[in-house]
Amino acid sequence: ARFQNDVGSEGHMAAHARLAGDREREARALVGMGRASVREHNFDRGLAESYQAIEIAREVDAKPILASGYYTTVLLHTATGRLDKGEEGIDLVLTTSRAGSDVVHQSYALTFAGRLKNWRGEYTEALPLQAEGLRLAREVLSALSAVVVNW
């Protein structure tokens, strides 16, 4: 039930953003709805919401939102056993996150790419991907810690 509330809240935000003509905020809310749908195991709805977010994020050139939308589709495809489709999506997440200086989704994608390699028994190939993803995550956490300490 909690995740249904998340979908509902994000849905209200998307509707308000749509009425206000704020396409970027609408895309961000749709990504949130897609993520909540993943947790709710409503995979078809999650894909639909994520693809809507991707379309809008492309229109407004919001690369971090685009990377987030792609990452959500990776989660959805792999959760439903479509590992090849998920792997294709990781390339989109990496390309978009790098272009938008989105280190968070770059880290997620590298770590998840390593996980997919592990699932396939490709342990040697997995290690550098996961190591790079974790290195980026540590950098982000270190930068956030510095901001909090100096705040």
Summarised one tens digit per residue, pLDDT across range 78-125 is 989 999 999 999 999 999 999 988 999 999 999 999 999 999 999 999
Where on the phi/psi map is residue 121: left (φ > 0), alpha (ψ -120 to 50), or beta?
A: left
Please give the Cα distance from 120 to 137 (Å, whole number). 24
Q: What percent of the chain has pLDDT over 70?
A: 88
Q: What is the pTM of this model?
A: 0.84
For residue 18, count CB atoms less than 10 angstroms from its CB and return exposed for 0-12, middle for 13-18, buried for 19 or more.
middle
Convert the pLDDT of each residue in 9-60 to its tens digit.
667 677 777 878 889 999 999 999 999 999 999 999 999 999 999 999 999 9
